[in-house]
Amino acid sequence: MSRYDLTDFEWRVIAPLLPNKPRGVPRVDDRRVLNGIFWVLRSGAPWRDLPDRYGPRTTCYNRFVRWRKAGVWDRLMNAIRAHQQAATAKRGVQIIVSVSRGGLTTKIHVVVDAQGLPVRLALPAGQTHDGQIVDSLLDHLGPRTIVLADKAYDADRIRELIQDQGATPNIPPKSNRRWKPCFSKRLYRERNLIERFFSKLKHFRRVATRYDKLAANFLAMVQLASMRLWLRAYESTA
């Protein structure tokens, strides 16, 4: 068993969430295929170097792409995140928002929670301005939520979007602002949670090296890495 393989606990969480197998059509062992995908994700090696114990590399690669196109990775991440949030539910959960390269080779927009675990992910097109993707990232806030974000998010429209949901923005104002909104440097220190997330993300070599040139595949790898972080947090509190 490779150290990159799913633990028995992780598999028990994931197995019920996988798509149903078509009637009368046998599917190769799901756990073996997922372990192969996670091996590629963590090692950063090309698919052709996949060890024989995971079966044909084409099976693992095709499953990775097919499930990405079918939205399976999206649903899995959301379901696993819901498991962990239910297990550690707290009132007034703080949401930390960041736009950062995090030392990676591409810009990933991430929303993390008070544990530094990813809540939302986005990979914008190269010419997309940071602020243009904010609507999809910040459409799920609620009361007693504090949003910490860097100066890229300092715009009246974004502040209003946050406040309209009952949340509170804590964003450093840009130097050219005439009106300076309230800002707490003490609270803003908590934004290091996002940097810790990126630090953990770099342990997944496939993400750290941006081996996948197709943006959709790269984002799927980031989702899989995020799922693994959620599973580890879930296992530690179970």
Task: Examine the domain organization and report whether 117 and 189 are in the same domain.
Answer: yes
Is the residue at 60 inside a domain?
Answer: yes
Is the residue at 48 inside a domain?
Answer: yes
Task: Examine the domain organization and report whether 77 and 105 are in the same domain.
Answer: no
Please write the tens of the pLDDT for every residue from 145-192. Answer: 888 888 878 888 989 999 998 889 999 999 888 888 889 999 888 888
Task: Examine the domain organization and report whether 31 and 111 are in the same domain.
Answer: no
Task: Examine the domain organization and report whether 77 and 33 are in the same domain.
Answer: yes
Task: Examine the domain organization and report whether 75 and 96 are in the same domain.
Answer: no
The pLDDT, as a whole number, for residue 91 is 47
- Banded model confidence at residue 128, pLDDT cuts 50, 70, 90: low
DSSP string, the chain: --TTSPPHHHHHHHGGGSPPPPTT-----HHHHHHHHHHHHHH---GGG--GGG--HHHHHHHHHHHHHTTHHHHHHHHHHHHHHHHT--TT--EEEEEE-TTSSS-EEEEE-TTS-EEEEE---TT--GGGGHHHHSSS--TT-EEE--GGG--HHHHHHHHHTT-EEE-PPPTT-SS-----HHHHGGGHHHHHHHHHHTTSHHHHTT---SHHHHHHHHHHHHHHHHHHHHHHH-
Q: What is the CATH number of the domain that holds 99?
A: 3.30.420.10
- Banded model confidence at residue 22, pLDDT cuts 50, 70, 90: low
Phi, psi angle pair for 22, to nearest 5°: -60, 140
| Euclidean distance between CA atoms 94 and 190, whole angstroms | 10
Task: Examine the domain organization and report whether 55 and 101 are in the same domain.
Answer: no
**What percentage of the chain exceeds 90 in pLDDT?**
41
Is the residue at 203 inside a domain?
Answer: no
Task: Examine the domain organization and report whether 80 and 95 are in the same domain.
Answer: no
Task: Examine the domain organization and report whether 121 and 194 are in the same domain.
Answer: yes
Task: Examine the domain organization and report whether 186 and 161 are in the same domain.
Answer: yes
Is the residue at 130 inside a domain?
Answer: yes
Task: Please give the residue range of the domain that contains residue 95.
Answer: 91-198
Who wins on pLDDT, 238 or 208? Answer: 208
Residue 125 pLDDT greater than 80, yes or no = no
Task: Examine the domain organization and report whether 148 and 127 are in the same domain.
Answer: yes
Q: How remote is the C-alpha of 122 from its chain's centroid?
A: 8
Is the residue at 35 inside a domain?
Answer: yes
Task: Examine the domain organization and report whether 103 and 69 are in the same domain.
Answer: no
Task: Examine the domain organization and report whether 55 and 98 are in the same domain.
Answer: no
Is the residue at 2 inside a domain?
Answer: no
Q: Identify the CA nearest to 166 among candidates 148, 145, 196, 147.
A: 145
Structurally, the chain folds into a number of domains equal to: 2
Is the residue at 175 inside a domain?
Answer: yes
